Structure 1
Amino acid sequence: MRRGIVALPIADEDRTGYTRDKFRLWLDEDHDGCNTRHEVLIAEAVIAPQIGPRCKLTGGSWYSWYDGETWTDPNDLDIDHVVPLAEAWDSGASAWTSAERNAYANDLGDERSLTAVTDNVNQAKGDKDPAEWVPALNRCDYLVDWVVVKSRWREKADAAEVAALNRIADGCPDTEITFVLAR
């Protein structure tokens, strides 16, 4: 993980022009009737849900690894962009095409990009980077996921973010990270 942190290009971030609607959320890329949100819920279910018409999910169970809670109602979960959309914008997505931003917002190509977590925990995280927020549990796993997503999408990091990543990584095993570039 340390090499991944060191490899992140450091640059000031700029939120100029950001609006959430510049990223199209929850597409059904494979046209199977289940959008990205549902695909993540299906993939991360501890107990597989039944999939009904219009991809209505019932009967499943999900574990939110940010806070250790288990949920049986998918409405109690948000799909978290590990690196939030606004942070992605600040870190380079402002220069991407619409298609690249949509691909980022619906990235099922790496399981570390999107994760189902307790809704109010995700809302407390908001658009914060690790200098401002990390989950109560599994901080080291979160850092690995953060570095992978930033690296996979060739995003920059600001100095405060890198300092926080290094500080938190001091208490983590130096995990080797691998990923496939998304762009």
Structure 2
Amino acid sequence: MITRDSHRRSARLITLLAATLLLVLLQPVASAQAAATTARDLLASLPTATEVRTGYDRNLFNHWIDANGNGCNTRAEVLIAESQTAVTRTGTCTITAGRWYSPYDQATWTAPSDVDIDHMVPLAEAWDSGARSWTASRRTAFANDLGLAESLIAVTDSVNQSKGDQDPAQWMPSNGAYACTYVTAWIMVKYRWNLSVDQAERTALTSRLNSGGCGDRTIDSPPRA
């Protein structure tokens, strides 16, 4: 015999199940919304500090390691990932040919010797902005960061050399159409590694973000390193 209490218990159970299902369905949406941000908001969260170059040595950043032991070091991994065609290689992972587009100057290269892997935020700039207090292992992680596509980018070697260790207040790519992408990537890397910006750098970044709505474009918040 089905009693009134049985009906009530069934109704409560159905309500509970429905509420649980709703929470499960909404959770990914809430997470996705939480991950959305803008370059302007990321920049606002970065501390402002005077840069300190004292003690810098490029060798303090152990770069181009083979982190996953597959025979390809970090440089090779980026060359493989960014080539517009399947790369040619010899041995385990010596890249001999591919096709790389350099957004800094809109040049295309097929010989890996013509391409540098640029640290979006140069090693010296990272040191100046906080990496001087890091452990050796954290500096190695920064120098070989494959966890954020914006951290390392294949570009024309001579252009990378002209950039050197300069920040956006001192150097910008000649490809003006890439300016928004460049400063956004710069800010994302600094946010990911909790690095500071100096006042001139902040002013230059803000100026670029104010151009054409650049700073208000929705981007995914970079994962903290």
TM bucket, shorter chain:
over 0.9
- How many angstroms does 1:105 deviate by? 0.3
Q: Which residue identity does 1:175 align to in structure 2?
A: R
Conserved? CA contact 2:89–2:97, under 8 Å: no
Q: Distance in 2 between matches of 1:24 and 1:48?
A: 28
Confirm or deny that 1:15 pairs with 2:53: yes
Classify the secondary structure of the residue corresponding to 1:57: strand
| Matched letter for residue 64 of structure 2 | W
Using the size of structure 2 for normalisation, the TM-score is 0.79
Within 2, Cα distance between the matches of 1:81 and 1:168? 20
Deviating beyond 6 angstroms after TM superposition, the runs of 4 or more aligned structure 1 residues are none
Q: What count of residue pairs does the alignment treat as equivalent? A: 182
What one-letter code is carried by the residue in structure 1 that aligns with 2:170? E
What is the aligned-residue identity percentage?
A: 52
* Alpha-carbon distance in 2 for matches of 1:85, 1:130: 15
In structure 1, what is the equivalent of residue 148 of structure 2? 110
AA aligned opposite 1:181: R
Partner of 2:7: none
Pairwise CA RMSD? 0.9
Measured after TM superposition, the shift of residue 50 of structure 1 is 2.1
**Contact preservation (8 Å) 2:192, 2:224:** yes
TM-score by length of 1: 0.97
| Displacement of 1:51 | 2.7
- Aligned runs of 1:11-50 on 2, under 5 Å? 11-50=49-88
Shift of 1:64: 0.5
Structure that is richer in helix per residue = 2
CA distance in structure 2 between the partners assigned to 1:16 and 1:176 by the alignment:
37
From 60, 82, 89, give the equivalent of 2:127.
Answer: 89
Q: Quick one: distance in 2 between partners of 1:79 and 1:59?
A: 15
Decide which structure has the larger Cα Rg and report it.
2
Return 5+ residue gaps in structure 2 as ranges.
1-38
Match of 1:179 in 2: 222
| Residue 20 of structure 1, CA deviation | 0.3
- AA in 1 matched with 2:222: F
Q: Deviations over 1:1-55 (max 9, x none)?
A: 1111111110111000001000001000011111000000000001121232041
> 2: CA distance between counterparts of 1:148 and 1:175?
13
Residue 2 of structure 1 is matched in structure 2 by 40
Aligned position for 1:163? 203
Q: Deviations over 1:135-165 (max 9, x none)?
A: 1120110011000000000000000000000
Gaps of 5+ in 1: none
